Amino acid sequence: MAATTRSSKLVTVAVAIFALGLLAVAAVFTLYVTGKHDLPLWLNTSAGLLVPVGLGLALIGLVREARKR
């Protein structure tokens, strides 16, 4: 029996935030490897904060979905 599940908006937003964080980490790594060491603060901050915030929001959203059932 296949049940169709629809993920909550919180999980969808969290995955987008997590993906942006991974892009920022990849950008920081690429720029560092190419020799640019003085990176903008916003890039370093987003690389350090978006990944854990996205992961945390996704976990909260998944727990909330599981408790509804």
Domain boundaries, the chain: 9-68
pLDDT category, 6, cuts 50, 70, 90?
A: low
pLDDT category, 5, cuts 50, 70, 90?
A: low
Tokens (6 digits) for 33: 């490897």
At what angle are helices 41-68 and 9-33 packed, to 10 degrees?
Answer: 150
Instruction: State the Cα–Cα distance between residues 46 and 41, nearest whole angstrom.
Output: 8
**Mean pLDDT (whole number) for 32-57:** 94
Q: Closest Cα partner for 11 from 69, 56, 52, 67?
A: 56
Report pTM.
Answer: 0.83
Under DSSP, is residue 36 helix (H, G, I), strand (E, B) or coil? Answer: coil
pLDDT category, 34, cuts 50, 70, 90?
A: very high
Instruction: State the Cα–Cα distance between residues 69 and 65, nearest whole angstrom.
Output: 7
